[in-house]
Amino acid sequence: MRQATVTRNTRETRITGTVDLDGTGIYDVHTGIGFLDHMLEQLSRHSLMDLTLKAEGDLHIDYHHTTEDTGYVVGEAVSKALGDRRGITRYGQATIPMDETLSWVALDASNRPYLVWKVQFSKPKLGEMDTELFKEWFQAFAQSAGFTLHVENAYGENNHHIVESCFKGLARALREAVTLDPRRADAIPSTKGVLGGSL
C-alpha cells in the first residue's frame, strides 16, 4: 500500500496530510484558503491520488506560510509513499489546454529536487491570494517530494486558467511518473541502483 501521513507543526502552521498514490482521486481538503483548496482538489482528482489535508495557519498575517507548508506536507507524504521508488515509471509529462491557456509540466521522480518555473501572471492577486505564492507551493512540493519539476505556461490570459492548468499538469505528470511499470516492478529506475545524489 503506497500510503503515507505527514504532520507538520510550527509556530505558523499546523498541518496533517495523507496521500494514497493508488487511490481513485478522492479528496478532503481544508486549508482555510478557498482557491488553494480548489487547486489541491484538482491535483487529487486528476492524479487519482487520494488526498486528505487539514491545515490551520496564520491567515490573519497572510497566506504565505499556509500555502508553502501545504506544499511541503503533500510533497513529503508523496515521497514517503513512494519509499525507495522501486518499480515506478519515474518520468511523467503533460500538456494541458484550458480555454485560451496552454501549460505543460515535466516531472522526474529522481529524488533530486529542482524547480524550473516559467509562469507569469498579469495581476498580483487572484481573489485574495497573491499570485507569487503559487511558485512557493510548487517549490516546496518539489523540494520535499524529491522531484525535478519543470512548469511552463506557453500562453494564456486568464490567471485562474493559468494556475489551474499548472496544477492539472502536475497531476497528470505525477500520475504517469508514479505508475508502477509491470516490466520492471522490482527495479530501481536508475542505472546507479538508487535514486538521488549526483547524476
Q: Is 86 part of any domain?
A: yes
Overall domain count for the chain: 1
Coil vs helix vs strand at 33: coil
CATH number of the domain enclosing 80: 3.30.230.40
Q: Is residue 127 part of a domain?
A: yes
Q: Give the pLDDT of residue 187.
A: 66
Q: Tell whether the torsion through CA atoms of 35, 40, 41 and 45 is positive or negative.
A: positive
194 pLDDT above the threshold of 70: no
pLDDT (tens digit, 9 = 90+) per residue, 43-57? 999 999 999 999 999
For the record, the C-alpha cell of 7 comes out as 504532520
**Are 103 and 171 in contact, with CB atoms under 8 Å apart?**
no
Structure confidence by residue, pLDDT tens digits, 115-150: 999 999 999 999 889 999 999 999 999 999 999 999
Residue 47 DSSP SS3: helix
Answer yes or no: is 191 within a domain: no
- At residue 169, the 3 state secondary structure works out as helix
What is d(CA 8, CA 169) in angstroms, rounded to the nearest whole number? 26
- Report helix angle 159-178 to 133-145, nearest 10: 10
On the question of pLDDT at 199 being above 50, the answer is: no
In terms of DSSP H, where are the helices of 83-186? 133-145, 159-178
Question: Is the pLDDT confidence value at 190 over 80?
Answer: no
| Any domain includes 194 | no
**Residue 93 structural domain:** 3-184
* Three cell numbers, residue 136: 512557493
Contact 137, 71 (CB under 8 A): yes
132 within a domain of the structure (yes/no): yes
Q: Does 192 score more than 70 pLDDT?
A: no
Does 11 fall in a domain? yes
Give the per-residue pLDDT at 198: 44
111 contacts: CB under 8 Å, gap ≥ 6: 79, 85, 146, 195, 196, 197
2/80 Cα distance (integer angstroms)? 8
Which residue, among 20, 36, 21, 43, has the nearest Cα to 68 in the 3D structure? 36
Q: Residue 29: beta bridge partners?
A: 53
- The fraction of the chain above a pLDDT of 70, given in percent, is 93
Q: Is 190 inside a domain boundary?
A: no
Distance, CA of 9 to CA of 96 (rounded, Å): 35
Residue 192 lies in a domain: no
The more confident residue out of 197 and 30 is 30
Beta bridge partners of 79: none
Q: What does pLDDT average to over the chain?
A: 94
Threshold 0.85, pTM exceeds: yes
- pLDDT category at 189 given cuts 50, 70, 90 is low
